Amino acid sequence: MMNEKQVDLKQAALIGVNWIPCSGSNTLKVFNPASGELLGTVPKLSEEQVRYAITTAERAFNSWRKTSINERCAVLNNWYQKIKENEERLASIITLEQGKPFAEALGEVRYAASYVKWYAQPALQDNGSAMPNGSEGESLKTITEPVGVCAAITPWNFPAAMLTRKVAPALAVGCSMIIKPAPETPFTALALSELALLAGVPPGMINVVTGDAQLIGDTVCTSKQVKKLSFTGSTAVGRHLMRACASTVKRLSLELGGNAPFIVCSDADIDKAVEGAMQSKFRNAGQTCVCANAFYVHDSLYDRFASAFEKRIKALSLGLGGDPHTDIGPLINERALEKVEALVRDAREKGGKIVYGGERWAESERWYLPTLITEATTDMRCVQEEVFGPVAPLVRYSDEDSLIASLRAQDTGLAAYFYSESLKRIHDLAAELEVGMVGVNTGVISDPAMPFGGVKSSGLGREGGRQGITEYLETKYIKLCY
Ligand SMILES: NC(=O)c1ccc[n+]([C@@H]2O[C@H](COP(=O)([O-])OP(=O)(O)OC[C@H]3O[C@@H](n4cnc5c(N)ncnc54)[C@H](O)[C@@H]3O)[C@@H](O)[C@H]2O)c1
Ligand SMILES: O=C[C@H](O)CS(=O)(=O)O
């Protein structure tokens, strides 16, 4: 892993080919979540500068949209190569500004690159259709056209993957992008965008605007020049942005909060279930939208599962991202730590047994110990709310039908996981769970070739797969009479 001097953090915003430096104190400070040290600053752009970025993106779109699919895919392939060539540097930036272990950061960079590679396939594009048997003298057909100037607002937990998952399909079909990265992790977005320019992405096709989230959000949401917004983040902010986009009736992709149940059925393979539970719960210290949130374990297996799970949790190693033995990094900030503490305190007050963890790490208050709570109940906040931290509440259940009914009543619907060796149960549960994505006998589901997204309050639209590209296309029907 490289240190901040070796990675040369780009401390500027990007509009067109111009890097906008910080000026005076009008800056956002970026901190290393593991040490609290200042990593660098990025500028707080004015509304005028954000509007200039929109106009720059519109100008670039008007020429890029005329390129051929093959030309656009060739540039995306170049970008993919540049990302691969710089993967260690990019992963170092992620670990420095987000805190995840370097091995996980490297995995994220490769996952991010896989979206660029996936959308660099010309055959993936949907180019419309023709009605083969129109009436005499008539031809009916559809064509697809790029939506136009798009905006992307991304979260801190996957600063690389959440960017390429939006930008790659947009560029592939001809759309230009204005990206607002999370204030906690702007340097990853800036580094990826610099590589895009080097790969031949025309200036103005990718712009990175940094600064006040509300100002940038309101500016892009109310701009008629911006035709689509893609947002990944909390449901609360997603709802706000949805309202803000109403006046211009924008296309929307919303990847919002989750609360993924992890169900261990009575016929589950316990060893597989514990392995999947570890993979799903503790990835990025529990700070992913598809982390298993609460565990629902059938009464007959509860004690065996809890004991095996506890053993694995106790073996997790906390430390700095640069240490190859580190499994769990720091949480992103004090607000996140205080939220996790409040949820664990609530569980304790409601009778939960804190079998392991339940407090900050003695070595550093920026880490939260991986925590196992048994005898958890559905009235606890850590079961009802998205924890976004390394806390695993175990709920005991005996009746599957009432469990599924209670889960279907939840507002969220992003991901769900269950372990069973019965084909009938697998078929039935996968159909009954009201979510966008289901993991069966696995705790890891994300794949660039498949549509990622949720239902209900977990969002709108899909990213990745074939569907991810239609989010950036409009369909035009043409009836020709001759
Ligand atoms: N469904 C998914 O794919 C997915 C992925 C990552 C995170 N999330 C969810 O996001 C949450 C954690 O991430 P977070 O704390 O970064 O979320 P957040 O919603 O606070 O921030 C996400 C992004 O929105 C920006 N933002 C915040 N307020 C804004 C406003 N008023 N106008 C414009 N932009 C604004 C932030 O600066 C950031 O860039 C969790 O709920 C998690 O589940 C969902
Ligand atoms: O946190 C949200 C991300 O979308 C999770 S994943 O990296 O796509 O699995």
What digits encode the pLDDT tens for the residues 375-406? 999 999 999 999 999 999 999 999 999 999 99
Question: Tokens at residue 83, please?
Answer: 């990302």
Residue from 335, 288, 304 nearest 443 by CA: 288
pLDDT of residue 288: 98
CA-based diameter of the chain, in Å? 80
Return the pLDDT at 347: 98
Geometric angle at alpha carbon 370, from 272 and 400, rounded to 5°: 45
Q: What is the pLDDT of residue 166?
A: 98
For ligand 2, atom 8, name the residue with the nearest CA: 446
Count Cβ atoms below 10 Å from residue 311 Cβ, excluding itself: 11
Distance 155 CA to ligand 1 centre (A): 5
Does 254 contact ligand 1 (Cβ within 6 A)?
no
Tell me which residue has tokens 């009746």: 399
- pLDDT, residue 209, reads 98
pLDDT tens string 277-328: 999 999 999 999 999 999 999 999 999 999 999 999 999 999 999 999 999 9
Query: Residue 184: pLDDT band by 50, 70, 90 thresholds?
Result: very high
Residue 30 has pLDDT above 80, yes or no: yes
pLDDT band at 259 (very low <50, low <70, confident <90, very high): very high
The Cα-based distances of 375 to 159, 273, 379, 392 in angstroms read 35, 18, 12, 11
pLDDT of residue 334: 98
3-state secondary structure of 257: coil
Q: Which ligand 1 atom sits closest to the C-alpha of 155?
A: 16
The mean predicted confidence, pLDDT, of the chain is 97
Q: 51: which DSSP letter?
A: H
Catalytic site residue 365?
A: no
Listing DSSP states for 187-248 in one string gives HHHHHHHHHHHHTTPPTTSEEE--S-HHHHHHHHHH-TTEEEEEEES-HHHHHHHHHHHGGG
**pLDDT(146) > 90:** yes
Do residues 1 and 32 make contact, with C-beta atoms less than 8 angstroms apart?
no
User: Alpha-carbon distance 20 to 168, whole Å?
Assistant: 24
Digit-coded pLDDT (tens) for 34-75: 999 999 999 999 999 999 999 999 999 999 999 999 999 999
pLDDT digits (tens, 9 = 90+) for 324-354: 999 999 999 999 999 999 999 999 999 999 9
Q: Which of 50, 178, 232, 458 to mutate to test the pocket of ligand 1 (most atoms within 8 A of CB)?
A: 232
- Distance between Cα 320 and ligand 2 center (Å): 22
The residue-averaged pLDDT of 359-374 equals: 98
Q: What pLDDT sits at residue 201?
A: 98
Contact (CB, 8 A) for 395 and 294? yes
H or E stretch covering 326: none
* Phi–psi pair at 301, nearest 5 degrees: -115, -5
Query: pLDDT tens across 413-436, in order?
Result: 999 999 999 999 999 999 999 999
pLDDT reported for residue 132:
77
Name the active-site residue from 255, 386, 463, 471. Answer: 255
As a dihedral over the C-alpha atoms of residue 329, residue 91, residue 50, residue 206, rounded to 10 degrees, the angle is: -150
**Angle, alpha carbons 430-434-438 (nearest 5°):** 40
Range 176-200 average pLDDT: 98
Task: Tell me, using a 6 A CB cutoff, whether residue 446 lines ligand 2.
Answer: yes
Three-state SS at 2: coil
pLDDT of 91 reads 98
Q: Predicted ipTM?
A: 0.94
The residue-averaged pLDDT of 252-261 equals 98
- Cβ 210 vs Cβ 181: under 8 Å: yes
Tokens of 240: 């706000």
- Among residues 21, 77, 64, the alpha carbon closest in space to that of 45 is found at 21
Cβ of 458 less than 6 Å from ligand 2:
no
- Phi, psi for residue 447 in degrees, rounded to 5: -155, 130
Task: Report the atom number in ligand 1 closest to the C-alpha of 452.
Answer: 3
213-225 burial, b at 16+ Cβ within 10 Å, e below that, comes to eebbbbbbbebee
- Non-local (6+) Cβ contacts of 63 within 8 A are 202
**205-224 pLDDT, tens per residue?**
999 999 999 999 999 999 99
Q: What tens digit of pLDDT does each residue of 445-463 get?
A: 999 999 999 999 999 999 9
**DSSP 3-state assignment of 389?**
coil
For residue 36, how many other CB atoms are within 10 A of its CB? 13
The reply to whether ligand 1 has any atom less than 6 angstroms from the CB of 240 is yes
- E strands within 305-435? 353-356, 371-376, 391-397, 415-419
Domains of the chain: 12-256+458-481 (3.40.605.10), 260-440 (3.40.309.10)
Q: How confident is the model at residue 114 (pLDDT cuts 50, 70, 90)?
A: very high
Binning the chain into helix, strand and coil, the percentages to the nearest 5 are 40, 25, 35
